[in-house]
C-alpha cells in the first residue's frame, strides 16, 4: 500500500502510487492515534496534498525542424492546443523542457496543470 514514509518535525509524509481513499486516511489516523508514544491531542486529521497535477510528455523532438533551434514553451503550448487529449486542461505555469540526453534528439516536458 505505501511506497515511502518520511518523518520530519512537521509530521509524517506517506507516499503511494495508488489512489488513496477516505478509508485509507481513516486507517492511517486510527493507527497513529493508537500508537503509545504519540499525544492523541496533537494528531491532525490526515489529508491528501493540495498541489497541482504534473503531466510528463515524451516523444517531442528537442530540436525544431531546422535542427538548430531548441524546443520552446510556446511550441509546447501549441502542440497541447492541437491535441484532443488535452481538451479542457489549463496550464498553471510554463512547461519545463528537458533534453533526454546530450546525444538524444527527444525532449521530456513537465507541465503543471
Tens of pLDDT, residue by residue over 43-90, are 777 776 655 566 677 678 888 776 678 888 888 888 888 888 777 777
74 and 105 together in one domain? yes
Instruction: Please report which confidence band the pLDDT of residue 104 belongs to, taking 50, 70 and 90 as the band edges.
Output: confident
How far, in Å, CA of 47 to CA of 22, rounded?
A: 9
Does the residue 29 lie in any domain? yes
Give domain status of residue 48, yes or no: no
Rounded to whole angstroms, the Cα distance separating 94 from 98 reads 13
Longest dimension (CA), the chain: 66
Single pTM value for the model: 0.46
Which residue from 64, 57, 61, 59 is spatially nearest to 89, judged by alpha carbons? Answer: 57
Write phi, then psi, for 96 (nearest 5 degrees).
-100, 120
Q: 69 lies in which domain range?
A: 54-112
Q: State the total domains in the chain.
A: 2
Judgement on whether residues 23 and 63 belong to the same structural domain of the protein: no
Q: Is residue 49 part of a domain?
A: no
Amino acid at each position: 500500500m505505501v511506497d515511502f514514509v518520511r518523518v520530519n518535525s512537521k509530521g509524517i509524509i506517506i507516499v503511494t502510487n495508488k489512489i488513496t481513499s477516505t478509508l485509507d486516511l481513516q486507517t492511517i489516523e486510527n493507527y497513529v492515534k493508537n500508537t503509545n508514544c504519540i499525544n492523541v491531542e496533537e494528531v491532525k486529521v490526515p489529508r491528501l496534498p493540495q498541489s497541482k497535477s504534473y503531466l510528463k510528455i515524451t516523444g517531442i523532438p528537442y530540436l525544431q525542424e531546422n535542427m538548430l533551434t531548441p524546443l520552446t514553451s510556446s511550441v509546447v503550448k501549441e502542440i497541447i492546443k492541437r491535441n484532443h487529449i488535452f481538451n479542457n486542461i489549463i496550464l498553471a505555469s510554463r512547461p519545463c523542457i528537458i533534453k533526454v540526453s546530450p546525444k538524444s534528439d527527444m525532449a521530456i516536458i513537465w507541465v503543471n496543470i
